Amino acid sequence: MNYSYVSHLYCPKCSKKYEADVVQNLCDCGSPLLVEYDLDSLKKDWKKSDLNGRENNLWRYHELLPVKDKKNVVSMGEGMTPLIEMQAIGNDMEIENLYMKDEGIIPTGTFKARGAAVGISKAKELGVKELAMPTNGNAGASWSLFAARAGISSTIVMPIDAPKITRNECAVSGANLYLVNGLISDAGKIVGEAVKEHGLYDVSTLKEPYRIEGKKTMGLEIVEQFNWEIPDVILYPTGGGVGLIGIYKALKELQALGWIDEEKMPRLVAVQSEGCAPIVKAWEKGKKESEFWNESETIAFGINVPKALGDFLVLNAVYETNGCAVSISDEAVLEEQKLLSQKEGTFVCPEGAAAFYAARQLRKNGWITEEEKVVVLNTGAGIKYPNTVEVDVQVLEKNESIQPANDRTAKKL
C-alpha cells in the first residue's frame, strides 16, 4: 500500500491534466486545479477498519491526501476536532439534532491549520524554499507558523484592519510580514507582483491545489464521527469557499470508495455576511459565477472576500446538493455569539456565529425541518477576536463587597 494514492491534478473548468510531482499553481485557463486520486486502486486496498487505531488527527486519512512520503508530513496534531451536540441552542432554534464541528481548538485557533498542514507538507515535498500569500489574517497565521516548522520562509501581506492577533502570530513566526492599507484583494495584487518578480511560491487561496485537500478532511471527519452516516445539512461560513469545496470533494471521494451512501448528500449552505455576500447574490440569481463585491465590510473578517477564485466551485457544490446561500448581518452575528456562550459555554468566532444564525433563520422559514441532523462549522476560536465583545465591568476598591450572580434574598434562611 502507498502512503498516498494521489494520481494527478486536473482543471475543473477545461479538464486539462497536470503532474502532481512538480510545483503547480493555476491552470493555463486561469482556473484553480484540483487533486485526483487513484480511487479505483484505493477502493480495493483501503477499508474503513484500516482507520482503527490510527492517530487521531487528519493524517489518519493519508491515502486520500497528496503527501507521498510520510517523512514530509509537517504536523502539530491538527484535525479530528470534536463534533459536539448543541442541545440548549438547538432547543432554542427548534432543531432537535444540532451539532457543532468545533475548529476553535485546532493549532493556531482556526481551521486554516488544516489547509496549512497539508499545503506546507506538500510544499516541503516539492522542495519549496519560500512562499508568499495575501491573507485576511488567519491563513497567514497558520501558514507562516507551519512554514516555520517546515523550515520554509514566508512573505505575508494582510490588511491593516485584520485581527491584531494574527499579525502577531505571523510576526512571531519570523515571517516577512507587511500590512496594506486596503483589502485582501489589494494584498493579492501586491503579492502577485512579488511572485512574478522574485519567483516565490504563490499560496494564495486556491492558487495552489493542496489547501483544499487539507480542508476536505473536515468532511471526512464529520461522516466518520457520524459512523459514516450523512447529515442532512452542513452550514459553512464562506469566504474563499475552500472548506465548502473541500467538504463536497471529500464526500464525492467517499462515495467513489463506496464508504457512504451513493445517493445522499448533505445540503450545503454557504453563509456570508450582509456586508460581503457575492456568493449569495450569485446564488439568488441562479448564476454560475459571482461578481466582485464593492466596499465589502464585516466583523467576520475571515469571510470578507469580495471575489473568490473558486466561486464557480462553491456555487456548483451548493446547486448540486440542493443547498442554499444566505447572508447575515453583523448585529445578528454578535447576538448569536453571545447566546452561544451563555447557553452552551462555547465562545465561537464571528464566522461560526454567522453560520449558527443562518441555521436559526433557515429553521424559521422552514428550509430546515425540526428533526433534521444539522452540522454547523465553527471555523475558529472566539478568543482570536477579543474586540468583538464589548465589556463593561465594575472595578472594585480593595475593601468593597460584591453581590452573587443570583438574587438570594428571597431564599435567605
Ligand X SMILES: *Cc1c(COP(=O)(O)O)cnc(C)c1O
Q: Which does 379 bind (CB under 5 to 8 A by kind): Zn ion, ligand X, none?
A: ligand X
Cell, residue 135: 491573507
Residue pointed to by grid coordinates 473548468? 13
Would you count residue 107 as binding ligand X (CB under 6 A)? Answer: no
Rank residues 27 and 314 by Cβ distance to Zn ion and give the closer one: 27
Among positions 303, 326, 358, 376, the unique one binding ligand X when judged by CB under 6 A: 303
State in angstroms the smallest separation of the CB of 366 from ligand X: 26
> Closest distance between ligand X and the C-beta of residue 237, in Å?
4
From 65-73, 119-127, 144-152, 236-244, span contacting ligand X (CB under 6 A): 236-244
Q: Which of 81, 155, 204, 238 binds ligand X (CB under 6 A)?
A: 238
By CB under 5 A, the residues from 15 to 54 that bind Zn ion are 16, 27, 29, 31
CB of 337 to ligand X, least distance (A): 12
Q: Using the rule CB under 5 A, is 8 a contact of Zn ion?
A: no
Shortest Cβ 29–ligand X spacing (Å): 22
Q: Is 32 in the site for ligand X (CB under 6 A)?
A: no
Q: Nearer Cβ to Zn ion, position 14 or 389?
A: 14
Among positions 273-302, residues that touch ligand X (CB under 6 A) are: 302
CB of 166 to Zn ion, least distance (A): 32
Calpha distance 384→378 (Å, rounded) = 13
Binding mask of the shown chain, residues 192 to 221, with x at each position contacting ligand X by CB under 6 A: -------------x----------------
Say which residue the cell 519560500 belongs to: 130
**Residue 242's binding partner out of Zn ion, ligand X, none, with CB under 5 to 8 Å set by partner kind:** ligand X
Is residue 13 near Zn ion by the rule CB under 5 A? yes
Strand 201-202 and strand 324-328: the pairing is unpaired
Pick 134 or 380: Cβ nearer ligand X: 380
Does residue 378 interact with Zn ion by CB under 5 A? Answer: no
First to last CA, the chain: 72
349 touches ligand X (CB under 6 A): yes
* 337 touches ligand X (CB under 6 A): no
Residues making contact with Zn ion (CB under 5 A): 11, 13-14, 16, 27, 29, 31
Residues making contact with ligand X (CB under 6 A): 110, 112, 138, 205, 237-243, 302-303, 349, 351, 379-380
